[in-house]
Every structure is written in C-alpha cells, then in structure tokens.
A and B are shown apart, each in its own frame.
Chain A
C-alpha cells in the first residue's frame, strides 16, 4: 500500500514541479507588466540629460538627477498646476460628501412621497456620457463668467460626483437601524442634530471610501478642465501636464518624466497607504450597480 502510493506520487511530483515553476513565471510576468512601466517612469525621471541618448532606455539612472524636478516645478509651472488642482479638488470633495450625504439621509431615513423618484433621478446620472453636457454648460459658463474660473470647475465636479455618491450613501444608510433614529427623535433631538451626530458618524467608513473614489475622479479629470479652463495660470495638473509634454516633451525628456512622475506620485502614495479602502471603494460602483 505504502509502496503503491510512493510509486504513484513520483511522476506526479515531477509534473507538479514544472507546473509550479511555470505558474511562478506567469505570476512574475503579470507583476512585471503591471508595475514595471511605472517603475521605469520613476527611474527615467532621475536621469541626467545626456543619459537618454548615451545609454539604452531600460538602463537604470547613473545618479539621482533631481534637477529634472526643479525644472518641471519652476520652468514647467507644475507648482502652479498643483496649487490649482488642490484648490479645485478639496472644496469639491467636501461638498460632494456633505450634500450627497444629506440627500441620501433624507431619501433613506425620512418620510416623504417623492423620494423613490428623486433617488432614481440621481442614479440615472451615473450613465450620462460627459460629452453631451459640455456645450450647454460651456454656454452657461460663458454668460455667467464661470469660464476660466476654478469655481466653475468645482461646480461640475460636484454635479458629476453626486449620482454615484448618493447611490452609495443610500445603500449604507439602509444598514443603519431605524430604531436608532427613532429613539433619538423620542429623546427630542432635532433632525439636523440626528443627521450630524448619528447619521454621519454611522456611515463614517463609507464617507472615507466615497471621498477616496471621488478624489481620484476629480484629481484625474481632464475633460472638464480642458473645456472650461484655457488660461495657462489656472490649469490643473492634468491639463498642465498635457501642455508641458506638448511644449517640452520631444526635447527635454528628463523634466517631462519628472512632471509625469509628479502627477503620479500623490495617487501613488495615497494608494500605498489606503489600498484596501481604495480597491473597495473603486469597485463598489460596479458591484452594486
């Protein structure tokens, strides 16, 4: 009996080893494909001007040539673009979360007739292709002085952040027990008090998740920024990077790689520390819809 199993096991083991090696190789290849381009980008951003023509592109940099970053920041205006992106992103996030949560709270926890219709209306916004709204918003902004104005950008970011946010928040509010709200009402708390000190804290995890998702959408936006802002002093990182690469991309490879890296680094760090929440948040829109 023992002999028989030993005999059977030997050829199986050999096959198993080959299979195992091939599997390891496959996984290694997948990781290289996923990660290497970005690694290559970061390495290239540290190369001195002569290195691009003197040594092959896959070679590691000979030293840390941080001058590329200095040049991209100053000559390439990446400093200004960063400031503009921050000014546009964070107020938009704050309002998306605040008014999104307030609407979701009213829809899910309060008693009124039209709430199903209103929820459906908001959710239908998720599917809308952005090109269809560009011209009318451009016309409105033209007449109200909101073109070339970061406030105009903030408003469209809020409008387009709301559908998914309200959709996700209502599903989280559903999990908050009604008894909790009702007992607070019995205790005489006002509805505003209930929203701020029971509603919001109960979905705090969801707030973090949604804020992360919306951060990536707003921070990475190109289509709104390139349509509503043409003034070079008001460009965000994405439109700034486009114009930088258009101007210097062919000649100054080092600073170009440095400016691409600068656009990538904030999202990279955020992902490094909060990857679980990011993965959960980014996929929740597709999973629940």
Chain B
C-alpha cells in the first residue's frame, strides 16, 4: 500500500508544477520585494544601495500618511457597511421573506460577479455631470432638487463617498449570502425555546441569534477587511486616486511610486507596510474576537 501511496516520484510529479509556479511567482517576489526596500532606483535607472533611507522617508512623507488615512477610513466605512447591510439583508431573508428568498438572494448577489472596471464605468456614468447629467443628477433635476446636483466624482468632498457606496453595493449581497447560510444553521428548537421564553424581534436577534452566528460574522469581517485594505482596482477604474489625492489608497500610492515615478525601493516599502498592516489588523480582530468568545 505504502509503495503506491508513498511513491516519491508520483508525489513529486503531482506537487512540483504547482509548487514551482507558487514559489517563483508568489514567494520569491515577496522576499525580493523586501530586498528592494533597501535600494533606490529602477530597472531603467539601475539600483543603488540605500540602507534604511526608504523607511526614514516613508515616515516623514505627508502623502504616505494621507494614503494610509484614506485606506483606514475606506476600510472602516466599507467593512462596516458591507457586513452590517449584509447582516440586515440576511435577517430579512430568514425571518421575513423566508423560503421564497432564493430569487431575492440571487438578485442581490449578482453585482459580486461583475467586472470591477465595468462597475466603475457604470458608476461614473450614474454620477456624471457633463456633458450630460448622469442618472442621479437627472433624477434630482426632475424631482426639483436642483440644489443637490453635484459633480459627484469631480470634487474631493464627495468622490470618496461614491467610491465607498460602489464597493458596498458590489459586495453586500456576498455577505448577505454567507450570513444567510450561517443563520440557516441556527437550530430551530433554540429559536422556539427563546420565543417561548418571551424573546422576540431585536431582543431575540441580539441575545440569541447574533451570538450563535458569531464565528461566521467574524470571518465575514476578516474577509471584508483583507479585501478593502488592499483596494486598488476599484480606485484605479473609478477615480484613479483623484480628484487631488482624495481617493489615493496605499495600493494606489504604491503603484504610482513604483510604476509612474519609477521608485522601486520606495514602492516596495509602501507595499511591505500594506502587507504588515493587513497581517496585524487580521490578527488583532482574530485575537480580540476569540478572547471575547471564550469569556
């Protein structure tokens, strides 16, 4: 038996292609990128050893702090929005629409599969002001609310929020479906018993339902966090970081530094900070919620 299942040559043939590609295009680049942080220059300019200067530079760079703050703000707004609305939708599916909710779930999930670029183009047309009003401004006009007509994506005060709305719109159905599956696993007799004890509505949700789906709620939050912290494509396709620097997130700033300005070392340093940030935040959420759960 072991002769066949422990056949080294077969194991090698099965594992080698995947492992090779994984090592060359994922693991080695991470290490390589960390090495870049000690250099300055680019492929064209050539590289010079720079010691820790990239690390010193990053902590006195106002644009870095700006993009870090934009990223954190975006993450807080979008993760809260996605998971909260997803939870509300899933509760609605389970306790109000009940068995007939499949169609609604399918429709609400639909934006998840659409290409980011197409969604961004669609949103830029929704919020367009010139040469023609987009859908939103057009509706405001017909409702006689002309004073609310805005160049939504053309001014710093609103562009960030349109970006948040787009990202919440795209993914809330995703979290609704995940949390719906979690709610379906809540045993019926637990709910019945709580109802007999007089719990209903919010009380029932708050004290019985939410604690029971806590594990899936936590993994939703972690999943959403790791997606929103590295947000790139949505920004590039909708606003390209602008107007000004109002939507420049860490990933976008890294890309500009690396590919537009040709600062490989500095770009890699920003990317490393992003990787570190993702790991730390995920770990903290995991630890805090885990501790809480054992109390």
Contact = CB atoms under 8 A, between A and B. Distances in A.
Interface of A: 23, 26-27, 30-31, 33-35, 37-38, 40-41, 44, 52-53, 56-58, 95, 99-100, 102-103, 105-107, 109-112, 118, 121-122, 125, 127-140, 142, 155-156, 158-160, 162-163, 166, 181-182, 185-186, 190-192, 195, 216, 219-220, 222-223, 226-227, 237-238, 241-242, 245, 249-251, 253, 256-257, 260, 263-264, 267-268, 270-271, 275, 278-279, 282-283, 285-287, 289
Nearest to A26: B92
A148 to B, nearest CB: 15
Given A30-B104, A222-B237, A56 B232 contact: no
A41 B236 CA distance: 21
A124 to B, nearest CB: 9
Contacts of A41: 122, 125
Nearest to A112: B11
Contacts of A282: 112-113, 174
A163 B226 CA distance: 16
Given A56-B142, A110-B5, A253 B10 contact: no
Contacts of A34: 107-108, 110-111, 169, 173
Nearest to A113: B6
B18 A127 contact: no
Nearest to A192: B10
Contacts of B28: 136
A112 B229 CA distance: 38
Contact of B21 (A131, A162, A253, A257): A162
B276 to A, nearest CB: 10
B32 to A, nearest CB: 4
Contacts, number: 274
Contacts of B111: 34, 38
A284 B26 CA distance: 23
Contacts of A185: 1, 4-5
A136 B33 contact: yes
Contact of B43 (A27, A106, A139): A139
Interface in B200-224: 216, 219-220, 223
B117 interface: yes
B191 interface: no
B15 interface: yes
Interface stretch (B48-56, B265-273, B287-295): B265-273
Given A130-B232, A256-B121, A264-B118, A162 B18 contact: yes
Contacts of B258: 134-135
Given A56-B138, A110-B11, A289-B219, A103 B18 contact: yes
A213 to B, nearest CB: 10
Interface in B10-44: 10-11, 13-15, 17-19, 21-22, 24-30, 32-33, 36, 43
22 contacts: A27-B92, A31-B107, A34-B108, A34-B173, A56-B133, A58-B139, A110-B5, A112-B11, A127-B279, A129-B251, A129-B278, A131-B230, A136-B36, A159-B26, A190-B4, A191-B5, A222-B236, A227-B259, A242-B237, A275-B109, A287-B178, A289-B223
B11 A260 contact: no
Contacts of B132: 52-53, 57, 253
B126 interface: yes
A132 B271 contact: yes
Contacts of A142: 43
Interface of B: 1-2, 4-8, 10-11, 13-15, 17-19, 21-22, 24-30, 32-33, 36, 43, 89, 92, 96-97, 104-118, 121-126, 131-135, 138-139, 141-142, 169, 173-174, 177-178, 181, 216, 219-220, 223, 226, 229-230, 232-233, 236-237, 251, 254-255, 258-259, 264, 267-268, 270-272, 274-275, 278-279, 282
Contacts of B264: 135
Q: Is the interface of B mostly helix, strand, loop or mixed?
A: helix
Given A162-B18, A287-B178, A135 B36 contact: yes
Contact of B116 (A163, A220, A275): A220
Contacts of A99: 17-18, 21
A238 B181 contact: no
Contacts of B17: 95, 99, 102-103
Nearest to B44: A142
A122 B19 CA distance: 8
Contact of A129 (B169, B177, B223, B271): B271
A275 B177 CA distance: 12
Contacts of A181: 5
A216 B113 contact: yes
Contact of B220 (A53, A121, A227, A286): A286
A162 B174 contact: no
* 5 interchain residue pairs of minimum CB distance: A159-B25, A136-B29, A106-B14, A136-B32, A133-B29
Nearest to A122: B22
Given A109-B5, A135-B258, A162-B18, A129 B275 contact: yes
A182 B1 contact: yes
Contacts of B30: 128, 132-133
Contacts of B254: 131
B10 A40 contact: no
B71 to A, nearest CB: 11
